[in-house]
Amino acid sequence: MQPPRRVAARLAGILLAASGVLAEPAAPALEPEDRLLLPAWEVSESRLLPAAVPVRATAVLPADAWSGRGIATLAEALRRIPGAVTQESFGGFEPPRLSIRGSGVQSAPSSRGIALLLDRLPLGLADGSFNSALLDPLLGGGLQVHRGIDAWREAGAVLGGAIDVRGTSAGTNDRGFLRADAGGFGARRIGAAGSGQIGSSLLGQAAAAWARQDGFRAHSRQERLTAHTTVSGPAFDGGRWSAGLYHAAANYEVPGPLTFAMAMAQPSSVSPEVVRDRPRRDARLTRLSAGYEERAADREMELGASVGRTTDEFHQLRANGVSRSASTDASWRGTVAQRFDSGIGAQELRLRAMGSHGWRRVSRLANVLGEAGAEFARDDLRPSTILIGLEDQVALARTLTGSIGIAQAWADRAMAGQTGGWTRATLPQAGLVWQASPRMTLHGSLFASAEPPTYDDLLVTAAAQGVPERRIQRLEDQRALTAEVGVRGEQGALTWDLAAYRAHWRHEILRLAEPDGTPRGAVNATPTTHEGVEASVRWRWSGRGMTVSVGASSVWTRCRFDQDPVYGRNRLAGVPPHVGEAELIVRFPRGAFVAGGTDWVKGATAADHAGQLGYDGRTLVHLRTGWRTARWTVFLQVRNLQDRWSIASTAGVLDLARNPAGAAIFLPAAGRSWTVGWELRL
């Protein structure tokens, strides 16, 4: 075995993604807007033995990358990261249609298909569903988007991947920051974060934010309060413990979908049904968490657990009624890794286990002119999901590393009065990574994944002759086998990340609705194929005190039926063929900056699987400018500079649009809006 000094020297510059934790760059001299992706060589340390590098890198967005720009929606926060596709819903923090590699795009109004995490532990319910309105991404210390084989390691029982908000952050200054934004459509946001020593050995961090807006449409007011605190300190044998508290309270009105003609002609309007039924949602989440980690030269251990209490009252249109739920959800995870030098090469053997268990009661009531009426159904739900996996990474050569692993997943979606039952899936994986040069890494992998249905898939509320009723439908777990290749590298001032994948899905869960918006429920589809390319590129030039940066990301996706007896090889509805964004930033010597950007959706997006209904893409232009000093930042941002009207997404999808002109399913995008912001680093 080589001395630790030589080990550390050889490992400097290798990205650690095997456990999902990325180290900070080793003193990068970058402006906040440039710190988008941490390439594989910008790492101060690694926990693997020589040449035992991980198979895949994870996309990262540091918290201070949001400095000097307005972030009003989750889509705006994630748009710069390749792989996460977010389609706006009603604007503001109301949950967008969120997906990774086509997984999750079919879900509405609750999200599934990806894992929403806070410090690696779930922020949603134990059945895999979540309400992203309860997450403020600016409250954390950065975002990590796990795709591909990283998702196999981190996300557990989902097919898309994971979005992980990592810790609280005091911004670019460890002492803290204050921030206030105001903008069009009555938008306001105030946030603060800070960190510091507590006594001689404890470290405390805290962040809080309040946001409110009137919205660009009628009946679309929103308000949210979020807070996150953590305390950590040393433990025995060089370990470290941590404890955290997260709280979010969100209430928002739901303006609902429109027909295509109304969405384009009067995008700020709402339907008569919305005026009558006044759909809205009020949700609360309080989550306690605790963790312990211990690291040594040849081993490590990480343990974590959380328990959360979620309450949710959702007034939907009359056909769907009102749901009131209260859920207690407990999650846990543990990882033990041992590193050693075998006759084959440097190896790391990693055992991981994770699970989620919930106790949830849901009452379903009639919506009588916007108020809760008589109860027509009550369910006691007991979801459980457990996953245990073992992975071995071995240095096959000085620049070539292999990975092989297997995981076993169990899931139960029990309901009181109904027969539950555990389902089981065996999930193998194998991968290779080649460090082709000190500045370029190539990787390839093949892995299996599985995802059980959520209760929103299994339980359907629909109106029969005007009377709402709840019914249960049986569904198979959806499964996929994915092959992926990619390259990440740097050449001078240019950095890039490119990945291509192809996944064969079985029993894909598609959630459908009637043309009038009444839900049909979820079904298991015939075999489908998801494939795509995810890319990002950044370039930076400095000279004469001025800096010019260009960044762009792009996601091309094609999800289709293999040979369905009804839909043939049609594309799946709801998946945009091509989305992307680009921005040019110029910074001047005395702190002024100006940036022009664009985001786009290219190609037609189908709203029904038969291909009878859909909407075209659009390209929006944005502009921002401001001034930054060592402590202050002020900025002005204008989005949708052309004031272009377009379709943001759809409220669910249809199987067949029998009356395309009368299908009220479209969600209009906001017109021109502005944001002015002020930041102070303490």
Three-state SS string over 411-430 comes to: EEEEECCCCCCEEEEEEEEE
Query: Which conformational region is residue 389 in: left (phi greater than 0), alpha (psi within -120 to 50 degrees), or beta?
Result: beta
23, amino acid identity: A
Q: What angle do CA 409, 415, 421 make, to 5 degrees?
A: 40
The whole model's pTM is what? 0.88
Whole-angstrom Cα distance, residue 547 to residue 596? 14
Q: Which residues contact 188 (CB under 8 A, 6 or more apart)?
A: 180, 181, 182, 211, 212, 213
- Residue pLDDT, tens place only, 597-612: 999 999 999 999 999 9
Domain limits of the chain?
A: 4-681
Q: Across-strand partners of 371?
A: 368
**Element of type H or E holding 448:** strand 440-451
Domain 4-681 architecture: Beta Barrel (2.40)
Sheet bearing 509-513, strands edge to edge: 519-524, 509-513, 653-654
Quickly count: other Cβ atoms within 10 Å of residue 3's Cβ.
8
Binned at pLDDT 50, 70 and 90, residue 514 comes out as low
- The length of the chain in residues reads 682
Determine contact, residues 467/373, Cβ cutoff 8 Å: no
- Residues 80 and 60: their CA atoms lie apart, in Å, by 10
* Alpha carbons 370 and 367: distance in angstroms, whole number: 6
Dihedral of CA atoms 482, 112, 319, 278 in degrees, nearest 10, equals -140
- Of the listed ranges 239-248, 253-262, 453-462, the least confidently predicted one is 453-462
The pLDDT tens digits of the residues spanning 364-408 come to: 999 999 999 999 999 999 999 999 999 999 988 888 999 999 999
Per-position b or e across 577-596, b if 16+ CB within 10 A of its CB: bbbbbbbebebeeeeebebe
Contact 32, 378 (CB under 8 A): no
Do you find a cis peptide bond into 109, omega within 30 degrees of 0? yes
The three-state secondary structure class of 263 is helix
Residues 448-501 have pLDDT tens digits of 999 999 998 898 887 666 677 888 888 999 999 999 999 988 888 999 999 999
pLDDT tens digits, 555-564: 999 999 999 9
The token pair at 51 is: 């040449």
Sequence-separated (6 or more) residues with CB below 8 Å from residue 23:
16, 43, 44, 45, 46
CA angle (222 as vertex; 158, 228 as ends), nearest 5: 60
650-681 per-residue burial string, b: 16 or more CB within 10 A, e: under 16: bbbbbbbbeebeebbbbbbbbbebbbebebbb
Q: How far apart are CA 209 and CA 298, in angstroms?
A: 41
Q: What is the chain's alpha carbon radius of gyration, rounded to the nearest angstrom?
A: 24
Tell me the per-residue pLDDT of 600-657, one tens digit each, with 9 for 90 and over: 999 999 999 999 999 999 999 999 999 999 899 999 999 999 999 999 999 888 888 8
Measured CA distances, 81 to 32, 159, 433, 555 (Å): 15, 18, 22, 10
Contact 215, 186 (CB under 8 A): yes
pLDDT band at residue 291 under the 50/70/90 scheme = very high
Name residues whose C-beta falls within 8 Å of residue 125's C-beta, 6 or more positions apart in sequence. Answer: 310, 327, 329, 358, 360, 383, 454
In what helix (H) or strand (E) does residue 261 lie, and over which residues does it extend?
Answer: helix 260-265
